[in-house]
Amino acid sequence: MTDKLSALEHIKADSRYLRGTIAEGLADPLTGAISDPDTKLLKFHGSYMQDNRDIRDERRKQKLEPDYQFMVRLRLPGGVLTAPQWLAMDELAERYAERGLRITTRQTFQFHGIRKEHLRDMIHGINDCGLSTRAACGDDTRNVITSVNPEISSVYDEVFGWALKLKDHVATQTSAYEELWLNDGPADPDAWKKDAEPLYGKAYLNRKYKFGFAIPPNNDIDVFNQDFGLIAIIEDGKLAGFNIAPGGSMGTTAGDPSTYPSLGDLIGFVTPDQLLETCWQSIVVQGTFGDRGDRKHARLKYTIDRNGGLPWYRDQLQSRLSFKLAPPRPYHFTHNGDRFGWVQGEHGKWHLTLSIQSGRLLDDATQKRRTGMREIARIHKGNFRLTCDQNVVIAGVDEADKAAIDALAAQYQLDEYKTASGIRKHAISCVALPTCGLAMAESERYLPTILTKMEVLLAKYDLLQEDIHFRMSGCPNGCSRPYISEIALVGRAIGRYDLRLGGDHAGERLNAVYLENTDEEHILTALDELFGRFAAEREPGEHFGDFIARVGVVVPPARRPALEYA
């Protein structure tokens, strides 16, 4: 850790609460870009500047600037939106974006290919229907995610309510968002002087900070991947409170062994009325001790590990709380990932989970799934829940309306969850090329190809219906949570990946590298052999990742030593 602040810390602190010169940059007709410092500030407003990397070299040869465009991401707590909001997002995607709608691994929509001149209209339009992009990216608290858990409806409703309260409780306060994207009149040049950020301060956090609520037995949000994971504790059918698990995060930096993926670990239990204070103070701890000199080592996991581990962290948090943290309470996760098809909740309503490959809803010559979802939204009376595995739940359906939704799902090939292989249904991928500036390899565009080849191998051993969790990321940042998957490919260069194996089926164990920086041929040869061994040597009911760990194909890393409680 260094005491010298990174350049970005100065940009944030000097930005007049996230204004910078974004307004001037948006108004400049001579370029499709905005300035580099403004691109950093823009993230706090929910947008990244990108360029189409497929044509980058060609444009350079033609002496043209890169094909600049913007990604816009919603802040959508719990991934919940109404049917009218779905239709509005679909309409905005049609008008301003390229490549349709995309469900992210953090339970929200993002849109790609938006031109600078349309950015304000896009964000304004999102806000017009009661949604927002505020703090969807940047060094702040990201979208608060929640298990979609449709079975235990009453607890779900309560936990979702807490997610909404938490979202508001830790929201950024700057009026720059309204000034840049919502207000129609000219900006008051002194408006920023009235702004304040009591929680974050002028420089905001040193890195992103993620909260997520899991409702056992589902760990569908991968709660141990959160900076501050919250596990709902249900006793006698009622919400008793939350176990808290800080220190999770996937991101690593290629070639830097001092960076690593990490799972969060339990440090205590809080009742619902203690939740908001606990989360607020957890941000204060990270704001106080997080590394502001080196962004590679800035996440909470490094703050914890650098300063003395969980005992130190618990003491820091405890010293700021008005109550005593209780020991964690028992819970049990049976699985991560989504459960597909219809499920009936406690209130009698039905919920249908559809599998959406890579979360991409885009019509093309072979399928019209985006149109299909639009048609469903036109008749659906409940809401939608986006999942962290990039799928969608059509939630709150009356018995009488199920048939019409089933018919549309069948008509538009949205019912593939019924026939798709286990590995295909559970696969997730990040966007990577052509728009992600950090991508080192293909991910979303390569996923269908590698899945088809893996399915040939699985069929050989009669494993096609085996629910194997497979995740692909275009670089070690790991946006698709690859480090807790049974099989993962993490991009290292074009056509080359680390093959990682050995995650479990509940999101409670990291995987490990099996082959480093290798190509498709070697990946498939290795999987062919391991699928064969799995089919022949597995124990009854054993999952692939558990088998890999049990027989020692890889040695998954240990978690932090558990805390002791007086």
Q: Residue 67: count other Cβ atoms within 10 Å of its Cβ.
A: 18
Give the Cα separation of 283 and 38 in Å (integer): 25
Binding status of residue 447 toward ligand SF4 by CB under 6 A: no
Secondary structure (DSSP) of 172-232: ---THHIIIII--SPPPTTGGGG---TTT-TT--SS-B-EEEE-TTB-TT-GGGSSEEEEE
Binding status of residue 439 toward ligand SF4 by CB under 6 A: yes
Give the Cα separation of 15 and 45 in Å (integer): 13
The yes-or-no answer on residue 142 being catalytic is yes
The yes-or-no answer on residue 129 being catalytic is no
The yes-or-no answer on residue 360 being catalytic is no
Binding status of residue 479 toward ligand SF4 by CB under 6 A: yes
The yes-or-no answer on residue 208 being catalytic is yes
Q: Which stretch binds ligand SF4 (CB under 6 A): 254-262, 416-424, 472-480, 555-563?
A: 472-480
Q: Which of 107, 219, 225, 477 binds ligand SF4 (CB under 6 A)?
A: 477
Any bridge partners for residue 214, and if so which?
Answer: 231
The yes-or-no answer on residue 479 being catalytic is yes
Q: Which stretch binds ligand SF4 (CB under 6 A): 124-132, 316-324, 429-437, 515-523?
A: 429-437
DSSP-based three-state secondary structure for 563: coil
Binding status of residue 478 toward ligand SF4 by CB under 6 A: yes
Nearer of residues 160 and 497 to ligand SF4, judged by Cβ: 497
The yes-or-no answer on residue 388 being catalytic is no
Give the Cα separation of 179 and 132 in Å (integer): 14
Nearer of residues 175 and 473 to ligand SF4, judged by Cβ: 473
Nearer of residues 46 and 241 to ligand SF4, judged by Cβ: 46
Q: Which of 473, 485, 511, 518 binds ligand SF4 (CB under 6 A)?
A: 473
Binding status of residue 489 toward ligand SF4 by CB under 6 A: no
Give the Cα separation of 397 and 324 in Å (integer): 42
Of 19, 106, 436, 509, which is the active-site residue? 436
The yes-or-no answer on residue 279 being catalytic is no
Task: Check if the beta carbon of residue 52 is closer than 8 Å to that of residue 61.
Answer: no
Is residue 114 within a helix (H) or strand (E), and if so which, with residue range? strand 109-114
Binding status of residue 432 toward ligand SF4 by CB under 6 A: yes
Q: What separation in angstroms does the CA of 516 have from each of 449, 497, 523?
A: 20, 7, 10
Nearer of residues 333 and 497 to ligand SF4, judged by Cβ: 497
Count of residues near ligand SF4 by CB under 6 A: 13
Both tokens of 3, joined, read 């005491």
Instruction: Report strand pairing: 428-429 vs 470-473.
Output: parallel
Of 102, 208, 299, 492, which is the active-site residue? 208
Of 43, 102, 210, 385, which is the active-site residue? 210
SS3 content of the chain, % helix, strand, coil (to 5): 35, 20, 45
Binding status of residue 250 toward ligand SF4 by CB under 6 A: no
Of 12, 16, 40, 73, which is the active-site residue? 73
Give the Cα separation of 69 and 80 in Å (integer): 27
- 239 sits in the region (left: phi over 0; alpha: psi -120 to 50; else beta) called beta
Binding status of residue 431 toward ligand SF4 by CB under 6 A: yes
Q: Which of 206, 443, 485, 518 binds ligand SF4 (CB under 6 A)?
A: 443
Both tokens of 449, joined, read 């190809």
Nearer of residues 356 and 394 to ligand SF4, judged by Cβ: 356
Of 40, 116, 134, 142, which is the active-site residue? 142
Binding status of residue 434 toward ligand SF4 by CB under 6 A: no
Binding status of residue 430 toward ligand SF4 by CB under 6 A: yes
Is residue 109 within a helix (H) or strand (E), and if so which, with residue range? strand 109-114
> What is the x/- site pattern for ligand SF4, positions 374-413, by CB under 6 A?
----------------------------------------
Q: Which of 7, 379, 438, 494 binds ligand SF4 (CB under 6 A)?
A: 438
Q: What separation in angstroms does the CA of 48 have from each of 233, 296, 401?
A: 37, 19, 39
User: From the CB of 490, what's the least distance to ligand SF4, in Å?
Assistant: 8
Nearer of residues 180 and 436 to ligand SF4, judged by Cβ: 436
Strands (E), 368-451: 383-386, 392-397, 428-429
Q: List CB contacts of 541: < 8 A, sequence separation 6 or more.
A: none
Binding status of residue 101 toward ligand SF4 by CB under 6 A: no
User: From the CB of 156, what's the least distance to ligand SF4, in Å?
Assistant: 29
Q: Which stretch binds ligand SF4 (CB under 6 A): 118-126, 283-291, 470-478, 506-514?
A: 470-478
The yes-or-no answer on residue 475 being catalytic is yes
Amino acid at 554: V
Which positions touch ligand SF4 (CB under 6 A)?
430-432, 436, 438-439, 443, 473-475, 477-479
Residues with active-site annotation: 73, 142, 208, 210, 430, 436, 475, 479
